[in-house]
Amino acid sequence: MLVEHRHGSIYVDGGWVRATGESIPIVSPLTEELLAEVASASAADIDVAVAAARRAFDTGPWPTTPLEERVAVVARLRELLQQNQERIATLITTEMGCPITQSRTVQAANPLRVIDAYSEFIGEYRFREVRRTATGSALVTREPVGVVAAVVPWNVPMGISMQKIVPAVLAGCTFVLKPAPQTTLDAYLLAELIDEAGFPPGVINIVPAERAAAEHLVSHRGVDKVTFTGSTGAGSRIASLCGSDIRRVTLELGGKSAAIVLDDADLDEAVESLRMGAFRNNGQVCTLKTRILVPASMEADFVERLNAMVDTMPIGDPHDDATQIGPLFSERHRDTVERYIRLGREEGGTLVKGGGRPAEIDRGWYVEPTVFTGVDPNATIAQEEIFGPVVAVMTYRDEDHAVAIANDSSYGLNGAVFTADLAHGLEVAKRIRTGVVELNGSPIGMQAPFGGFKQSGIGRENGAEGLDAYTELRSIGLPPEFAGSLS
């Protein structure tokens, strides 16, 4: 566990500062007992953090530091993250219940993958280029956007934080990170590692806070850009606050992703892919395929295999290597998931697996992996993001019908197509209105842009496009002969 005296502090301007807000209780989703009480930044604390980031950007060395020096500091952070992988994984499992094997392979590993992906192309990224045409010549540069405020969720706390921090600081921005209240402990660890890596004071500031202070941050006049990952409702509120000041904003929001199983798919391979593709992190991932579309003639066979697979997912203590389904992150969230399960039954769905709390576990916020069939595409559980281990298997008549069901959603974050004919599957994938589609469960990796259509967000993260989001374009008109000397 972290040093206790830091629990009452925020990390600002390269040091630990006592917070002035009320404390935040961190409660174990496994034991339902208090783990710690940590700082909650007040609006005044937010002002101090933004002022530190503002100084570091406006008068500090970071924006003008040579790129190779910025890369070197990020590389030192990577070394520290790698040295602390087991500590990170255990801490996140303790905070929010992610099974430890998934914390090791995703929660603690993704920060390294983010840094590695940017390191592969940052040297070739076009921060400046000369463009010459008959109508004029220009030096086109990508300048750091300025002070960035990031609000991140509890479900993949350090991975998503690093998705935002790494491209921002490589671009020359400074940063204020507002972690989710429920997963503040790993944010304290991240602050320790950032401090040890040697970032100059004010470049990265970390301020745990509740909603009111978070709103103060995203609407702060000292902030140039906001980046948010979370629910569509919260994203809509943040977008409205940023819109009033024309503040740049990137939003990665909810999803209700569909997996289309074509009639030539290998059902065993499709079902096995859905083990993590539909139930990872106890169902608490925005990209999970929670609507599974199968031909009517294959429904019974598919559901039998899916239920058998779910039976091989042990439910239990998330610190146990054998566990594949741990507790949901909070009691309130468990209540929400259980409400959706009740709605699924009330609206005509057939519950064929799970739907309750595991009988052999008497504490912790658990919900069994749950499978519905006979769900109408317009039913609540087919339209709203549940964010729990609940999937709906629905049938389709033909491919046009399958695509129509998949696209019948206010979301457009992710999707999947399962087929033996990859060329044909690619054509089906192109018809799905989402930012990401996985062919036979294939991940896109960290080098490709990630984000959503429709109410799943604005903008993209990862890849060169993720770096673009932290820059502003500037064009400087040049005399032709001078432009030639710069080419």
Give the CATH number for residue 465. 3.40.605.10
Q: Is 448 contained in some domain?
A: no
**Choice among 95, 98, 286, 438 that is catalytic:** 286
Q: Is 445 contained in some domain?
A: no
**Mean pLDDT, to the nearest integer, of 398-409?**
98
The CA distance from 452 to 205, in Å, is: 28
Active site residue 173: no
Lowest mean pLDDT across 7-11, 91-95, 273-277, 411-415: 7-11
219 lies in the same domain as 266: no
Q: Which residue(s) pair with 174 in the sheet?
A: 147
Question: How many C-beta atoms lie closer than 10 Å to residue 376's C-beta?
Answer: 14
Residue 4 pLDDT: 54
φ, ψ (nearest 5 deg) of residue 478: -125, 145
29 lies in the same domain as 109: yes
Active site residue 252: yes
For the chain, the average pLDDT equals 96
172 lies in the same domain as 269: no
The answer to whether residues 412 and 434 touch, using CB atoms and an 8 Å cutoff, is yes
- pLDDT tens for 53-82 read 999 999 999 999 999 999 999 999 999 999
Concatenate the DSSP letters of all residues of 94-151 into one string.
HHH---HHHIIIIITTHHHHHHHHHHHHGGG--SEEEEEETTEEEEEEEEE--EEEEE
Q: Is residue 438 predicted with pLDDT exceeding 60? A: yes
**Mean pLDDT, to the nearest integer, of 309-330?**
98
- pLDDT tens for 149-181 read 999 999 999 999 999 999 999 999 999 999 999
Q: Is residue 2 predicted with pLDDT exceeding 50? A: no
**Mean pLDDT, to the nearest integer, of 393-397?**
98
Q: Is 482 contained in some domain?
A: no
Lowest mean pLDDT across 18-22, 189-193, 237-241, 409-413: 18-22
280 lies in the same domain as 149: no
Q: Is 137 contained in some domain?
A: yes
Strands (E) in 378-481, as ranges, are 390-396, 411-412, 415-418, 438-439, 453-454, 457-458, 471-478
Question: What residues contact 230, with CB distance under 8 A and at least 6 apart?
Answer: 151, 152, 153, 253
Q: Is 446 contained in some domain?
A: no
Residue 480 pLDDT: 92
Structure tokens at 335: 């209540």
461 lies in the same domain as 384: no
- pLDDT tens for 206-243 read 999 999 999 999 999 999 999 999 999 999 999 999 99
The answer to whether residues 185 and 484 touch, using CB atoms and an 8 Å cutoff, is no
pLDDT-derived band at 185, boundaries 50, 70, 90: very high
Q: Is 449 contained in some domain?
A: no
Residue 6 pLDDT: 66
290 lies in the same domain as 240: no
243 lies in the same domain as 277: no
- pLDDT tens for 124-134 read 999 999 999 99
Q: Is residue 296 predicted with pLDDT exceeding 50? A: yes
The kind and range of the H/E element at 12 are strand 9-12
Q: Which residue(s) pair with 284 in the sheet?
A: none
166 lies in the same domain as 223: yes
The CA distance from 198 to 62, in Å, is: 12
186 lies in the same domain as 312: no
Q: Is 225 contained in some domain?
A: yes
The CA distance from 443 to 436, in Å, is: 9
Categorise residue 190: left if φ over 0, alpha if ψ from -120 to 50, beta otherwise: alpha
Q: Is residue 424 predicted with pLDDT exceeding 60? A: yes
Q: Is the dihedral of CA 201, 204, 209, 211 positive or negative?
A: positive
Q: Is residue 266 predicted with pLDDT exceeding 60? A: yes
Question: How many C-beta atoms lie closer than 10 Å to residue 193's C-beta?
Answer: 20
163 lies in the same domain as 181: yes
Residue 1 pLDDT: 45
Q: Which residue(s) pair with 9 in the sheet?
A: 18
**Mean pLDDT, to the nearest integer, of 109-135?**
96
In angstroms, what CA-CA distances link 162 with 157, 167, 197, 250?
9, 8, 14, 15
213 lies in the same domain as 243: yes
The kind and range of the H/E element at 186 are helix 185-197
Task: Report the CATH number that the domain containing residue 373 is assigned in CATH.
Answer: 3.40.309.10
User: How many H-runs (helices) and E-runs (strands) does the chain carry?
Assistant: 17, 22
The answer to whether residues 411 and 255 touch, using CB atoms and an 8 Å cutoff, is yes
The CA distance from 42 to 36, in Å, is: 19
- pLDDT tens for 320-363 read 999 999 999 999 999 999 999 999 999 999 999 999 999 999 99
pLDDT-derived band at 8, boundaries 50, 70, 90: confident
352 lies in the same domain as 378: yes
Give the side-chain half-sphere CA count within 13 A for 79: 9
Residue 420 pLDDT: 98
Nearest to 215 by CA among 151, 164, 297: 151
Q: Is 247 contained in some domain?
A: yes
Domain encompassing residue 155: 4-253+456-475
**Choice among 95, 192, 215, 252 that is catalytic:** 252
Tally of domains within the chain = 2
